[in-house]
Structure formats: structure tokens, C-alpha cells
Amino acid sequence: MPDQDQGPQESQSPNDSPRIGTHLLREGLITADQLRKALVLQGSRGKRLGEILVEMGALSAEALRQALSELYDVPAVDLERTYGDPFVLDTLPKDKAFELRVIPLFLVDNQLTVAMPDPNNLSKMDELRFLTGKQILPVLALESDIDRHLREYYGELDPWSSEVAIEFESLAGTPVDTAISLDDAEAERPLIRLVNLIIARAIQERASDIHVEPQENRVVVRYRIDGKLQVKPFNLPGTVASPVISRLKILSQLDISEKRVPQDGKVRVRYKGRRVDIRTSTFPTIFGEKAVMRLLDKERQDFRLENIGMSETILRQWRLLMRRREGIILVTGPTGSGKSSTLYATLRALDSPEINIVTLEDPVEYELQGITQGQVSERAGFTFARGLRSILRQDPDVVLVGEIRDLETAQIAVQASLTGHLVLSTLHTNDAPSTIIRLVDMGVPRFLVGASVIGILAQRLVRKVCPHCCDEAEPTDEEKEILRPWLDMGIPFRIGRGCDRCNGIGFRGRTGVHELVAVDRALQARIAAGDQAEALVRAARAEGYRPMWWDGLEKVVAGVTTLRELAGTVQADEHPENKLPGERKQEE
């Protein structure tokens, strides 16, 4: 029994037994005042006391985990770093796992390691022994981590009672032979279930890519969700690396006997009524072949200009450029910055029976109804340059060239724009003004660049704050300095706290941040006169050009994204000629 002068005591309850607050107070991890505030919040929130203290910022999750481990005298695990074996999930029915708030992690002989928030709960231990028929070795995990990872492990499907209902077919629509050469038919089923589970969960979680990476003693599975790679809880031994990769190669119609050189293949998946195209790439490593699968979800794409994150000002300027019937419009940015989505949305906005639109892509990622789409084939000699020449004989009004990669393609695009065609394409440059210099460096004469290019849009993608857990927060001193004009106007600072909808990350979905240079006569003259990048930037600023940093800041203020996310994606602009958007609004 603790001494009375140790501070307030929390009431005994199933959620906080033994008394964690007293232990944390005794260890000097929290103050009596913090405990008192947490107890008040506990009465209204109904959460465990330790979790509330973490939410308050009174102590870290790691400190709470260690304190509980000492208190219960059991090992603690961080489920962000410890990945269980997916093959042991079938030892406990999904509904019971959610009801008891436990996750089976490992099975060694007859001993099942189970993560749970209350390892001293004897009735729960007895029920687990009865349900599984195993000896239970409890390890401690925070309840919030368990709630989040239960969905990670079990998801919305139960692949262990019956095979995940996934159909595989070629992109031509014919079924894919998914047979695999294993001697034991029973040994084939867990492998099929595992691969299907990896793909199905990736589709469920809106992943754009799946990485299957063999390492020295294990196989790591990562999903790219909203632009960020996340390790998934598939604790796979290194011995399954070759069978898993072979299975993926069979599905993608690749040569499973060839493991020394990279290969590329594709397959179409039908899952719960959704059609997803998968492009598989394999790459030999020192521990075996790595596979990366790009998921192109036909149901999730919404190619509309209003939905890609353009500000009203940029969207209005972009629509004016689209109405032009000749010239080159370029979208620039690194790989994965949403350039194709912007171009597809532009084509959809342009599409009408009176306009002939023809594309040349590498590859065609999404099919657009009413638009003629072509795909280059380097192996057959059908390059961008050769394809573009052929397109011009198809009487097009609008031409989309997937990427300007070389001087020959650039020259043909310029000629097409000067002979009455609107040409859309992409380049890999850091910002809009430097695109001019990039074309000149490729060998296009300056006067032709100035005469043909009418608009350049540079963009990046940033993660959006999850709308389900978006909450006001206190910005750091650095954030206060940057956002002071808005904060002084009473505009709140928001972040995502993390919830089940966003898997505890605080972000869900992505949006674009943009900058646009519309090439007018003044800028054309400067391009032709030989101005370098800095002079072109100054000229563009004088005509209203603003780097994408400022577009991003306005999205931060609107609560769409966070300053940390923006700063990690876009180069900050500190040019003295620019004013903060908040200051500009005050002047207006």
C-alpha cells in the first residue's frame, strides 16, 4: 500500500489493475499533477490510464511499455517492430481475437506467444488455453497498438478458413494458369493463401506498391501507402523466399527458371468485384530475387481536375491553357509525383466528340474511354519519336506524349505544336522555370522553346491529414514562426492524431501541391534572348509565378496536410519578393 503523500490514487478497475499510476509515480515517470489530470480524463474517455498519460504527452509509449513490463513481470513487445507469424493466426478465431483484444504471434512446439494488454488476467489466459489447446506465453503490448494491429493481422477477410477469393487473368482477359510445381499438394495451399493474402490486403489498404524483399534469414513485406513504405506484419522465414517469388512470377507469366536477370510481367486481379492491374518487376539480389508489384486500381482512380489538389487560381489558369489549340503544355516532377494523373484528368476534361485525342504512353496505366491510347515498345522499335511521327498522320487535335526523353522526341513535339496541335507531355525537373533550361540543354533551340511551350506545371504529392482523427494541436516554435500570419488571424493548427481508419498514422490519401508558369510574350522574349534560370525565375515571379512551397503552406493552414509533411516533400522558398499568403490576404 503506497504512502499517502505519494499523490492521488486511481480507483481500482479492470482496466487499470494493478495500479499503474502509483507505480509510475513511484518511479518518477510522471508527476502527481499529471496523474490527477489523467484520472479526470479517464472518467470521461474510458481508456486505460497509461494510454491517457501517453496521449497527454506525460510519458512516451516506450516508457509506459517498460513500466508495465516491470509491473506485470512479463516481456514487452512493440508491435511496430515485432512481426508475428501469419500462419499462427488460425490458432485463434478472428472474432475471439477481437473480443479478447489479443494477437497470436509465434508457435514453438505447443507454446503459443500471445500479445495482450493485461497479461495478469487469469480468466483470459484460461480461455485462450481452452480455445487454442496450447500453452500460453503472454507478452505485454499496449492496448492501442493491439487495436490497431488486429486489423493489420486479421484484416476484413479470413484467409485461413478458406482460400481468399482472388481471380487472376491476363490483361487480355484470359485466365492465368496458376498451377505451381510442388510435389505435396497440401504444401501448396498455405503458399497460395499467403500470396493471395499479401495481395488482398494491399488492395484493401489502398497500397500502390508491394515489395517482397528476401533478407538473410527472413522475407520482409512492405506496402507503399500514400507514398510511404510501411513494413507489414508478415514474419516469414527466409526458406519461403524462393517459393513466394516463384508463385508471383507464375501469376505474372514470368520465367521461374531464370533468376539471374531482372524480369517484368503483368497480371489482372479481380477481387470483391474490383479490377486491379498488377505490374510485377523482379530484381536479383545477394539473398535471392526481390519482387515489386505496382497496383493500378481501376476503381479507386477519379481523374477529375477538381480532385487533384489544384488551387482555384492555378486551376483557372490551367483551364485557360487547355483551351489553346496549339502549343506544348508540360507537367514536371519526379517519379511518383502524380504527373500521369494530372494529364489523365486534363484529357478527360478535354474529351468531346469534336476533338481527336491520341496518346503515346509507356505503359498505358489506365484506359480512358473515347480516347485513342497507344503504347511504346522499345523491343519492337516503336519508340516515342517513331510513334509521335505516326500520330501526326492520324489527324489529331490533342496529342499526349508520355515523356520527352530525348532530343528527337522533343523536336517532333515542338514541330507538332507549331503546326496546329496541342501537345501534352512530362519532363523530370525540380521546378517549372528550370524546365526551359532542360529543353535547351537537350538541344532544342531557344527560339523554338519560347515559341512552342505555353505552360509548365510542376507538382509534388503530400499526404492528407486523416479527416477522422484531425484535431487541433500546439505547433512547434519553428512552425509558429512560419505560420504566424495565419495563427494571428485565429486559424487553427491541425494534425492527425491517428485512428483505425488511418492505421494510427494520422494521414489518409494524398493531394497535389503545384506551381504554374504560363509563358506569355514577355517570358518568350527572355527565353529567346538567352536568359539563364535565375533571370527566368525573376521574370516569372514578376508575372505572378509562386513556387509550390506557398501553395503547400496554404494547404497546411487549411488543415489539408502538415508542415512537417510539406517540408519533407517540397523545398522551402525564402525569396524576399514573396509575401506569405496570409499577409497578402490581410492587404486585400
Amino acid in the structure at residue 345: A
What mean pLDDT is predicted for residues 501-525? Answer: 89
Q: Using 50, 70 and 90 to split pLDDT, how confident is the model at 453? A: very high
Q: What is the mean pLDDT of residues 465-488?
A: 85
Instruction: Give the pLDDT of residue 494.
Output: 85
Asked whether residue 580 carries a pLDDT value surpassing 50, the answer given is no
As given in the structure block, the three cell numbers for residue 130 are: 481452452
Residue 232 has which C-alpha cell? 507489414
pLDDT at 479: 84
How far apart are alpha carbons 196 and 473 in whole angstroms?
40
Percent of the chain with pLDDT over 90: 41
- Position with higher pLDDT, 217 vs 155: 217
Look at 15-24, 212-221, 253-262, 286-295 and tell me which has the smallest mean pLDDT.
Answer: 15-24
Binning the chain into helix, strand and coil, the percentages to the nearest 5 are 40, 25, 40
CB atoms within 10 A of CB 567: 17
pLDDT band at 176 (very low <50, low <70, confident <90, very high): low
pLDDT at 11 over 70: no
Q: What's the whole-number mean pLDDT along residues 93-120?
A: 89
- Grade residue 79 by pLDDT with cuts at 50, 70 and 90: confident
SS (H, E, C) 515-572: EEEECCHHHHHHHHHCCCHHHHHHHHHHCCCCCHHHHHHHHHHCCCCCHHHHHCCCCC
CB within 8 A of 451, min separation 6: which ones? 418, 524, 528
Handedness of CA 543, 338, 466, 309 (dihedral sign): positive
Summarised one tens digit per residue, pLDDT across range 347-393 is 999 999 999 999 999 888 888 888 999 998 888 888 889 999 999 99
What pLDDT does 422 receive?
A: 96
* Model pTM above 0.75: no
Dihedrals φ, ψ of 258, to 5°?
-100, 110
The contacts of residue 287 (CB under 8 Å, 6+ apart) are: 214, 215, 216, 238, 241
Question: Are β-strands 372-375 and 357-361 bridged in parallel, bridged antiparallel, or unpaired?
Answer: parallel
Inter-residue contact 556 to 482 (CB < 8 Å): no
Instruction: Give the containing element (helix H, strand E) for 472.
Output: strand 470-472
DSSP state of 394: S
380-422 pLDDT tens trace: 888 889 999 999 999 999 999 999 989 999 999 999 999 999 9
Dist. CA 452–CA 129, nearest whole Å: 74
DSSP of 127-156 = HHHHHH-SEEEEEE--HHHHHHHHHHHHTT
Q: Region 63-85: what's the mean pLDDT?
A: 83
Contacts of 36 (CB under 8 A, 6+ apart): 7, 8
Instruction: Give the whole-angstrom CA distance, residue 326 versus residue 321.
Output: 10
Please report, in angstroms and rounded to a whole number, the separation of the first and last CA atoms in the chain. Answer: 66
Checking if the pLDDT of 582 tops 50, the result is no
